[in-house]
Structure 1
Amino acid sequence: MSALRKALTLLAVTTALAAGLPAAADAAVPATIPLKITNNSGRSDPVYLYDLGTLLANGRQGWADANGTFHAWPAGGNPPTPAPDASIPGPANGQSITIRMPKFSGRLYFSYGQKLVFKLTTGGLVQPAVQNPSDPNRNILFNWTEYTLNDAGLWINSTQVDMFSAPYAVGVQPTGGATRTTGHLKPGGYNGFYSALRGQPGGWANLIQTRSDGTVLRALAPGHGIEAGALPRTVMDDYVNRVWSKYSGSTLTVTPFGDQPNTKYYGRVSGNTMNFTNGSGAVVTSFQKPDADSIFGCYKLLDAPNDLVRGPISRTLCAGYNRGTLLVNPNQPDSNPGGFYKDAVTNHYARKIHAQMADGKAYAFAFDDVGNYESLVHDGNPAQAFITLDPFS
């Protein structure tokens, strides 16, 4: 799955949440809000910022300048044509700048040392996809946050859905309230993550990408690692086979909505299919036996449409497979983080990221928000947003 599609998966979640908020918040959110970026990285490289996304007022795609003014992308081509330079000079180490963010669903990229390369096709913007060795951004140190700012407030996250790279945290200050933050690593957490991943057998160390000068650039998320040939496609097969065996003779109960405890679906395996029934015994959806790529990406054989049945069940299954809870708890989602990632066959990338987060929260896979274990902050009346570029230590 492309980086853009994964981003849209997350943004669809936050936008859907936003849609459910009361209209009373509408008048509270201005057309733009201030975003303060602080550089505590300890690096001397120049920083470049990019605020890219979809303008929610009209659905047009483009970028915002430092004042929050929207600029639509021009028409692209085939092959892709260079996009306009949308970069904003970022703060030097030890300094801060404040820009304005408009009502976007989009990404705020930041890069160290050189500008990112963006191109336009006839279908719109080409996002960086560094699992592809020929991507022009492959050797650039960069990262991004994702956000939705709309009439119901701000959702902004720290994400590792595509990769773990340059460390940062996000925050939001409500009008008249205290700032809430997430995404900070523990002291030593940046190096600790890479050391732990290098020590994990089975190909996990191959997720780490470095530059010719020795600079560690990132660790690919395992789905991208499979795509790049760094991680075996069979890496989750043993766990899936055990799940299939267990629920051939017993029932997996999924209660997908925390506020609807009586809405339950019941899964049983028959052959290559896990069928889910409702309380009346009618089959409501079915899943084929998933492969590792489907599990890590929460798509393909674990597709999650924006409906009220298959999507919520799939989200729950995706979390259970990635966290390794399906064998130890037949009632999902599992609400005990102390039991996550305990099986020898699990998403070790996600496990090691969560272990290094100061608050334990991360977006290490697309549906890490099942049970609210994601690194996201939200406020319906935001006065200011924050991004802190953290130390590489």
Structure 2
Amino acid sequence: MRIRSKLCAVLAAAATVAAGLTTLVAAPADAVPATIPLKISNNSGRAGPAYIYNLGTNLATGQQGWADADGNFHAWPAGGNPPTPAPDASIAGPADGQSITVRMPKFSGRVYFSYGQKLVFKLTTGGLVQPAVQNQDDPNRNILFNWTEYTLNDSGLWINSTQVDMFSAPYAVGVQLADGSTKTTGHLKSGGYKGFFDALRGHSGGWSNLIQTASDGTVLRALAPTYGVEVGALPASAMDDYVNRVWSKYSSETLTVTPFGDQPNTKYYGKVSGNVMNFTDGGGTVVTSFQKPDSASIFGCAKLLDAPNDLVRGPISRTLCAGYNRSTLLTNSNQPDPNANGFYSDAVTNHYARLIHDRMADGKAYAFAFDDVGNHESLVHDGDPRQASITLDPFN
């Protein structure tokens, strides 16, 4: 099963989510039952049917599959080449103004929702083919849909809204605690949905090309810039000027990275030499090096900014990725920068992420893969969850 966001694999381990976060403390194994309720409320204002899909990996067996409304797991059958149709895993969603409650099993995966028609899923010999709407020929290209990511395991529930791949149908997520209180995130400010698209349309430099519309002109989504570069909608040079200035600065200065919020004495020191930024530890030993990144590497937090699941290169790379996307590397030589008021202030920045954060009610979002560096992500967690929630919000 293909999960693009870096979050799900990390949450499945219930360990440190990313740089800047402290290590999560596991709850007693008996604190979390086999399934918990998931309440889905439709406040979208849209007429017509909605469909829900709960797809992921069964954490007890490692099998990939889907859960029905009662929380029962169904493994995917074998796929083919070319891909074969997947079983219909849809659950009838709530009508506008209504709610339904289904059961959420111990999964790491996604809850999709679509409006008007069902999503198309297929199976290859390698597993599930998920929507990839940057491809004009993807069967889901003209369907209005979105998804949340979550992990429910013996240590609790992590559930987040995500814009790592696209900004589309608005929604929020939540978790109810044992004392009856709730934590929520993902709601937009009033006017935030339309405001985001209006602002993106008004931005020069190709950013408006990220918007995808239906044949009748209805807005469906905005692609994340990593896919904008991939399909040629956004110039591959979008971040070049900023990178060149970073390279110039740290040819003579030192960039200090403190990648773990709970380990302030663990620091690495970056210095540019030619086309490489070398990082040394406190003893002066080179621990990892990075080639000069391009826009695709920055927006995708991958390629030349690859972040393996280790304790050195990965954490440094996550911090660099956040610094480039938020354009804080020139204004603060100590990273990660904790001051969100200074994020995205350079003319060359990830404007997609800037506009999303600006329109979130709580300022939190997953607008790029490592937006959780410094705890700026739209994630809620509890070690003893009583109920999860997804609220389908209005398009205003």
**By the TM > 0.5 criterion, same fold?**
yes
Q: Distance in 2 between matches of 1:166 and 1:114?
A: 14
**Does the CA-based 8 Å contact 2:76-2:86 persist in structure 1?**
yes
2:254 equivalent to 1:257: no
1:200-239 correspondence to structure 2 within 5 Å: 200-239=203-242
Q: CA deviation at 1:24?
A: 4.3
2:13 equivalent to 1:36: no
User: Which string of whole-angstrom CA distances, capped at 9 and with x for unpartnered residues, describes residues 332-381 of structure 1?
Assistant: 00000000000000000000000000000000000000000000000000
**Does the CA-based 8 Å contact 2:42-2:393 persist in structure 1?**
yes
Counterpart in the other structure of 2:19: none
Counterpart in the other structure of 1:4: 2
2:69 equivalent to 1:71: no
Q: Distance in 2 between matches of 1:14 and 1:5?
A: 12
Q: CA deviation at 1:45?
A: 2.1
User: Which string of whole-angstrom CA distances, capped at 9 and with x for unpartnered residues, describes residues 174-194 of structure 1?
Assistant: 112301100000000000000
1:272-283 correspondence to structure 2 within 5 Å: 272-283=275-286
2:12 equivalent to 1:15: yes
2:375 equivalent to 1:362: no
**Does the CA-based 8 Å contact 1:51-1:106 persist in structure 2?**
yes
**Does the CA-based 8 Å contact 2:275-2:292 persist in structure 1?**
yes
Tell me: CA distance 1:242–1:22, structure 2 relative to 1, closer, same or farther (3 Å).
Answer: closer
What amino acid sits opposite 1:82 in the alignment?
Answer: P
User: Which string of whole-angstrom CA distances, capped at 9 and with x for unpartnered residues, describes residues 209-246 of structure 1?
Assistant: 00011210000000011111100000000000000000
2:93 equivalent to 1:90: yes
Q: CA deviation at 1:10?
A: 1.3
Q: CA deviation at 1:21?
A: 4.3
Q: Quick one: which of 312, 318, 323 aligns to 1:320?
A: 323
- Structure 1 stretches of 5 or more lacking a match? none
Q: Distance in 1 between matches of 2:391 and 2:165?
A: 20
**Does the CA-based 8 Å contact 2:174-2:183 persist in structure 1?**
yes
**Does the CA-based 8 Å contact 1:34-1:383 persist in structure 2?**
yes
Q: Distance in 2 between matches of 1:228 and 1:301?
A: 19
- Count how many residue pairs are aligned between Structure 1 and Structure 2: 390
SS of alignment partner, residue 250 of structure 2? helix
1:43-82 correspondence to structure 2 within 5 Å: 43-82=46-85
2:163 equivalent to 1:160: yes
Q: CA deviation at 1:40?
A: 0.1
**Does the CA-based 8 Å contact 1:325-1:334 persist in structure 2?**
yes
Q: Distance in 1 between matches of 2:142 and 2:76?
A: 25
Q: Distance in 2 between matches of 1:343 and 1:22?
A: 37
What amino acid sits opposite 1:31 in the alignment?
Answer: A
User: Which string of whole-angstrom CA distances, capped at 9 and with x for unpartnered residues, describes residues 149-205 of structure 1?
Assistant: 000000000000000000000000011230110000000000000000001100000
Q: CA deviation at 1:26?
A: 1.4
2:183 equivalent to 1:175: no
Q: Quick one: which of 337, 345, 349 aligns to 1:346?
A: 349
What amino acid sits opposite 2:4 in the alignment?
Answer: K
Q: CA deviation at 1:23?
A: 4.7
**Does the CA-based 8 Å contact 1:18-1:153 persist in structure 2?**
no
Q: Distance in 2 between matches of 1:41 and 1:24?
A: 35
SS of alignment partner, residue 325 of structure 2? helix
Q: CA deviation at 1:5?
A: 4.2
- TM-score between the two structures when normalised by the length of structure 1: 0.98
- Structure 2 stretches of 5 or more lacking a match? 17-22
**Does the CA-based 8 Å contact 1:18-1:152 persist in structure 2?**
no
SS of alignment partner, residue 248 of structure 1? coil
- Measured on the aligned residues, the alpha-carbon RMSD in Å equals 1.1
Counterpart in the other structure of 1:199: 202
Q: Distance in 2 between matches of 1:226 and 1:114?
A: 29
Q: Quick one: which of 380, 385, 388 aligns to 2:388?
A: 385
SS of alignment partner, residue 271 of structure 2? strand
**Does the CA-based 8 Å contact 1:186-1:356 persist in structure 2?**
yes
Q: Distance in 1 between matches of 2:161 and 2:27?
A: 28
SS of alignment partner, residue 225 of structure 1? helix
Q: Distance in 2 between matches of 1:162 and 1:290?
A: 20
Q: Distance in 1 between matches of 2:39 and 2:27?
A: 27
User: Which string of whole-angstrom CA distances, capped at 9 and with x for unpartnered residues, describes residues 86-115 of structure 1?
Assistant: 000000000000000100000000000000
SS of alignment partner, residue 78 of structure 1? coil
Greater CA drift, 24-33 or 81-90: 24-33
Q: Distance in 2 between matches of 1:255 and 1:315?
A: 11
What amino acid sits opposite 1:12 in the alignment?
Answer: A
What amino acid sits opposite 2:2 in the alignment?
Answer: L
What amino acid sits opposite 1:323 in the alignment?
Answer: R
